[in-house]
Chain A
Amino acid sequence: MPPITTSAVLLRTYDYSETSRIYRFYTERHGLLGVMAKGIRGRSAKGSASLATFVTGHLTVYVKPERDLHTMKDFEVVNGRGRMGTHMLRFGGASAVGEVVSAHTDREPNSELFETLERTLDRLESAPPDVLAAVSLSSLWQVVGALGFSPELGVCVLCGTALDHEEVGRFDFPAGGMRCAACAADGAGPRIGPQARRTLGGLVDGRDDGPVTFARRHLSILSDFIAYHVASRPLKSLQFLGDLLPPDEVEPS
């Protein structure tokens, strides 16, 4: 079978034997791909230095149908994203984005997800340090949205009533969004006030140009939402990211 070439983002690397590596890419045309690169760890292996986590490039690979692991022929870097390790929040946010994409069980190609992954990684790489918490949370919400799981924030997920701007409701994780004040009475999710809902809406829509207050609380909502709808297992990188976020000073209303 002839090799195929597709745009791909490297999400994870595993050493395999003394000389080889297994790479996990998210690709534009084939979704998640596990790829074996034989001899890549050798001293003279061409291109091994370019294959750093979060790099985007043109991946040429021999795809074997019905197999989980394919064979890499070549990888040509388009965007090296060499600054991803220069700040802990940049690294933590990008790792979490990568794990959410990897953990999703749907293996079909999703061009919107690929484009969102590219855009959010670029944003994480270039964002100034003071907005990295917001950019990390926003990036994760956008990836979750591209996977088809945006939360409903404007209309009650139970009764369908539009929420008032000043209404205090509850986030209903199984139902995937906000309950209005009336329906929130017998709910179990966290209470969300008007300010918190506006911030959440901004993060979901990708408005991340300012520092976010109660970042840990927002990550907790995001983590629970991901646990309900996206991933079938706990994501370790979200815990890692949580430890990097500034502590919430007071309990939000």
Chain B
Amino acid sequence: MSVIDQLSTELARLPGIGPKTALRLVHHLLKGSREQPRRLARALEEVADRVRACRVCGNFTEHEECEVCVNPRRDASIVCVVEEAFEVGAIERTGQYRGLFHVLGGHLAPLDGVGPNELNVASLLGRIRDARGGVNEVILATNASVEGEATAVYLEEMIRPMGARVSRLARGIPVGSDLEYVDGTTIAEALAGRREM
């Protein structure tokens, strides 16, 4: 296998990149300056060598603990549980949340053999236990799918006896959308979760 094929095969393993796009990317790298692919290679090596999971929350970090966990201005009494590390960024971008995070690393998936032991559940429970009442609320921000719901139900059963309040992200109509175009399931969820004005 040529080195060009080797690189395009590796690129094609990435999400959203098919064989044609991979080959196009390789040609783009070869047509530019020689320094560009070297910079990319160095950046990939740095990521592989230096990025790890935060030992507290499981978020990606270059240190023992991530910048959210070590920030003294964050509210340590609230922990928001997400499925994947990139969802931390989605919540952070809102600018509305000042608590801490916990990354599960996925959701319960019986067909893939993913049970509670395959997720970062034990570390979450240990964190709440070690805080000795310091965690007042756990927000379950798992996805609004059957699998996300089941994961949230499981976590709620585990966390509630520890004394923390357990909440779930609200579900309903997306901001800026027309009711006419929203599907029935979403409208039903929005009706069930309506709030008094």
A91 touches B188 (CB 8 A): no
Enumerate chain A interface residues (CB-CB to B < 8 A).
12, 15, 17-18, 43, 46-47, 49-50, 52-54, 77, 80-82, 84-88, 91-92, 95-96, 98-99, 102, 236-237, 239-241, 243
Instruction: Give the CA-CA distance A53 to B185 in the complex, in Å.
Output: 13
Does B15 interact with chain A (Cβ within 8 Å)? yes
B154 touches A88 (CB 8 A): yes
Q: Which residues of A contact B148 (CB under 8 A)?
A: 85
Q: From residue A104, how far is it (CB to closest CB) to chain B in Å?
A: 14
Q: From residue A127, how far is it (CB to closest CB) to chain B in Å?
A: 15
Enumerate chain B interface residues (CB-CB to A < 8 A).
15-16, 18, 108, 110-113, 115, 144-150, 152-154, 157, 174, 181, 183-186, 188-189
A88-B154, A91-B146, A91-B150 known; A77+B111 contact, CB < 8 A = no
B186 touches A49 (CB 8 A): yes
A96 touches B110 (CB 8 A): yes
A52-B146, A86-B153 known; A237+B185 contact, CB < 8 A = no
With both beta carbons as reference points, the residue of chain B lying nearest to A52 in the complex is identified as: B146
Q: Which of A49, A50, A87, A241 contacts B110 (CB 8 A)?
A: A241
Given pairs A82-B188, A86-B153, 13 additional interface contacts (CB within 8 A): A12-B111, A17-B18, A18-B16, A49-B144, A50-B183, A50-B186, A80-B184, A81-B146, A88-B154, A91-B153, A98-B111, A99-B110, A102-B111
Q: From residue B107, how far is it (CB to closest CB) to chain A in Å?
A: 10
Instruction: Give the CA-CA distance A50 to B171 in the complex, in Å.
Output: 13
Instruction: Give the CA-CA distance A218 to B108 in the complex, in Å.
Output: 24
A88 touches B184 (CB 8 A): no
A88-B153, A88-B154 known; A53+B110 contact, CB < 8 A = no
A49 touches B183 (CB 8 A): yes
B145 touches A52 (CB 8 A): yes
With both beta carbons as reference points, the residue of chain B lying nearest to A93 in the complex is identified as: B110
Q: Which residues of A contact B150 (CB under 8 A)?
A: 84-86, 88, 91
Q: From residue A29, how far is it (CB to closest CB) to chain B in Å?
A: 24
Q: Lowest 10 A-B CB distances belong to which pairs?
A: A85-B149, A240-B110, A237-B110, A95-B110, A236-B113, A91-B150, A85-B150, A18-B16, A85-B146, A53-B146
A53 touches B183 (CB 8 A): no
A87 touches B153 (CB 8 A): yes
Task: Name, among A12, A47, A95, the residue most crowded by chain B CB atoms within 10 Å (CB to CB).
Answer: A95
A18-B16, A82-B188, A241-B110 known; A77+B183 contact, CB < 8 A = yes
Q: Could you list some 27 contacts between A and B, CB below 8 A?
A: A15-B15, A17-B15, A17-B16, A49-B183, A49-B185, A49-B186, A50-B183, A52-B145, A52-B185, A77-B183, A80-B184, A82-B185, A84-B150, A85-B145, A85-B146, A85-B149, A85-B153, A88-B150, A91-B108, A91-B147, A91-B153, A98-B111, A236-B111, A237-B111, A239-B113, A240-B113, A243-B115
